[in-house]
Amino acid sequence: MITLPRAFAGASALVLVAGLAACGSSDTPAASPAPSAAAGAVDLSADCPATVVIQTDWNPESEHGAQYALLGSEYKVNTKLKSVSGPLMSSGKPTGVNVEIRAGGPAIGFESVATQMYKDDKITLGYASTDGQIQTSKELPVKAVMAPLDINPQMIMWDPATYPDVKTIKDLGATGAVVRVFGGASYMEYLVDSGQIDRKNVDEGYDGTPANFVAAQGKDAQQGFASAEPYIYENEVTDWAKPVAFQLIHDAGWQVYAGTMSVKSADFEKLSPCLKKLVPVMQQAEVDFYSDPVATNTLILDLVEQYDTGWVYSQGVADFSVQQQKALKLVSNGTNDEVGDFDMDRVQKILDVMGPIADKLGTPPAAGLTVDDLVTNEFLDPKIGLK
C-alpha cells in the first residue's frame, strides 16, 4: 500500500549477493575519488563535474530505473539525506566521475525539483515535466535534455464492475462519478476545460492512500500511476484486491513529458560539453535497464528499505512497473529508433494549451516562452534506442 502521496509517483526476493555485500550505509556523502574511465568507456572527467548530481521527484522506484542504472555495485547510501552515490558507469565501466542520485518528495519536504535546483548549485540534473517547466519558467527556468519516459504514467482509474461501460475518462465524466485527485493539478484543469470531467465532480482531497477509494466501494474514481496502482490495488490493498480500469491522461489529450532530465537554463551553455558526452551514457543506461532490470531493481528496493520514509515498494510492484511501462509504451523509442528524444510538435501543443492554464493557476509562463526554451534533442545519440 502507498502510505505517502506521490507527486509524480520493501524487500527484494532477488538479492545480488556480490553487489549488496559491497554496498554500505553512511550519514556523510562519499568522498572517494571516481575511478578512472575504463578502456572502451566514455571519459567524462574532463567535461563533467566530479560528481554528477541528479535530483529526482520521488522515492526510488522502477520508473526511475534508467537513472539508478548509472550506478554499479559499489555504491554508498546516505540515509540522512536520502541519497546514493558511486562511480558513474557506462555499460559496466567507470567514466571517471561519480554520480549522486537524491530522492525527492518527502526527502525534500515535498518541494519542487526546480526549487531544489535553484537552492543547491551542486545539482547537475533534475526531474521536470513539460507543464511544470511552463509554470516555473519565469522564476525557476529549466531546460530538458532527455525524456526517459515517452508517455506520462499518470492515469484516472475506476472500478470496472461499477462502471462496466466506461472505457475513457470522458465516459467516466458522463457518469457523474467523483474523481479524487491532488489539488492544483494542471492536467485536471485540462480535463475540465476540454469537457471530459465536470468541475463539480472533482474532489481535490486525495491524500495518496487507498482509504477513500476503498470506502467508496467502487463509486468514486481516483488519480494514480498506470505503472503501479493497478498492481497495488489488485495484489496489495487487501480491502480491495481486484482489478481497476483506467485511462492514461496522455490518451485523454494531456501529452506532457514527465520525469525528464533537465538543467537550469542559465547553466545550459556551461554544461553543454558535459551533456554532449553524458546524455548518450544516460540513453544507454536506459537501454540496459529495460533489457535487464534485475540488478537495478534490487538497488531500488534496497534504497527504499534504507531510506525508511514510510514509502512501501515491493518486488512485485517493481517487476510489474517494468512490464507495464513496456506494455503501455510509457518507455519507447516513440516515432523513430531513438530513445529519449522530444517530439517538438507535441511540446508546442502543450505550450499552447498550458499557457492559459498556468495563468489560471497563478503561475503564468515567461513572456515569449518557446519550445526551444523548454527542450532540446541536440545531445542525444540517434543510434541508441530500445530494442
Instruction: Return phi, psi of residue 279, to 5°.
Output: -60, -45
Nearest CA-CA partner of 284 in 150, 62, 37, 90: 90
Determine how many CB atoms are found less than 10 A away from the CB of residue 88. Answer: 28
Task: Tell whether the model's pLDDT for residue 30 goes beyond 90.
Answer: no
Task: Tell whether the model's pLDDT for residue 9 goes beyond 90.
Answer: no
CA gap 85, 300 in Å, rounded: 13
Residue 226, in any domain of the structure: yes
Sorting pLDDT into bands at 50, 70 and 90, what band is 242? Answer: very high
Residue 321, in any domain of the structure: no
Residue 305, in any domain of the structure: yes
Q: Report how far apart, in Å, the C-alpha atoms of 304 and of each of 8, 41, 128, 260, 351 are.
A: 17, 30, 22, 22, 35
171 and 206 inside one domain? yes
Q: Where a domain ends, among 225, 248, 271?
A: 248
129 and 173 inside one domain? no
What is the rounded end-to-end Cα distance, in angstroms, of the chain?
33
167 and 42 inside one domain? no
**Least confident piece of the model among 22-26, 180-184, 220-224, 342-346:** 22-26
Is the pTM higher than 0.85? The answer reads yes
What CATH number is associated with residue 263? 3.40.190.10
For a pLDDT cut of 70, what percent of the chain falls above it? 92
Residue 324, in any domain of the structure: no
CA gap 54, 220 in Å, rounded: 37
Full domain range(s) for residue 112 = 17-151+257-309+330-374
- Positions of E strands within the chain: 24-26, 51-55, 76-78, 83-90, 93-102, 125-128, 142-146, 154-158, 179-180, 202-203, 221-225, 245-248, 260-264
263 and 347 inside one domain? yes
29 and 122 inside one domain? yes
- C-alpha grid cell, residue 334: 516513440
Residue 384, in any domain of the structure: no
Sign of CA dihedral 262, 266, 272, 277: negative
170 and 296 inside one domain? no
DSSP string, 79-121: TTTTEEEEEEEETTEEEEEEEEEE--GGGGTT--HHHHHHH-T
pLDDT at position 41, please? Answer: 84
- Mean local confidence (pLDDT), 75-93: 97
**What is the per-residue pLDDT across 216-236, written as a single tens digit (0 to 9) for each?**
999 999 999 999 999 999 999
Task: Tell whether the model's pLDDT for residue 11 goes beyond 60.
Answer: no
Adjacency order of strands within the sheet including 51-55:
24-26, 76-78, 83-90, 93-102, 51-55, 125-128, 260-264, 142-146
Beta bridge partners of 105: none
237 and 261 inside one domain? no
Residue 10, in any domain of the structure: no
**What is the per-residue pLDDT across 352-382, written as a single tens digit (0 to 9) for each?**
999 999 999 999 999 999 999 999 999 999 9
- Mean local confidence (pLDDT), 27-36: 66
Select the more confidently predicted residue: 31 or 222: 222
**What is the per-residue pLDDT across 128-183, written as a single tens digit (0 to 9) for each?**
999 999 999 999 999 999 999 999 999 999 999 999 999 999 999 999 999 999 99
Task: Tell whether the model's pLDDT for residue 14 goes beyond 80.
Answer: no
Q: What is the number of structural domains in the chain?
A: 2
Residue 343, in any domain of the structure: yes
Nearest CA-CA partner of 243 in 163, 361, 345: 163
Residues 6+ apart with CB under 8 A from 355: 134, 364, 365, 369
Q: Is 214 exposed, middle or buried (0-12, 13-18, 19+ CB in 10 A)?
A: middle
- Mean local confidence (pLDDT), 15-28: 36
Task: Tell whether the model's pLDDT for residue 19 goes beyond 80.
Answer: no
Task: Tell whether the model's pLDDT for residue 2 goes beyond 60.
Answer: no
167 and 237 inside one domain? yes
**What is the per-residue pLDDT across 309-330, written as a single tens digit (0 to 9) for each?**
999 999 999 999 999 999 999 9
262 and 136 inside one domain? yes
Q: Where a domain ends, among 228, 248, 268?
A: 248
CA gap 295, 193 in Å, rounded: 44
- Mean local confidence (pLDDT), 74-99: 97
263 and 337 inside one domain? yes
pLDDT at position 38, please? Answer: 86
Task: Tell whether the model's pLDDT for residue 25 goes beyond 70.
Answer: no
pLDDT at position 6, please? Answer: 54
Q: Where a domain ends, among 213, 248, 283?
A: 248
Sorting pLDDT into bands at 50, 70 and 90, what band is 115? Answer: very high
* Site of grid cell 558507469: 89
Residue 65, in any domain of the structure: yes
pLDDT at position 281, please? Answer: 98
CA 125 to chain centre: 13
**What is the per-residue pLDDT across 38-56, written as a single tens digit (0 to 9) for each?**
877 899 999 999 999 999 9
Task: Tell whether the model's pLDDT for residue 16 goes beyond 80.
Answer: no
Nearest CA-CA partner of 186 in 147, 114, 132, 150: 132
35 and 164 inside one domain? no
142 and 230 inside one domain? no
- Mean local confidence (pLDDT), 278-286: 98
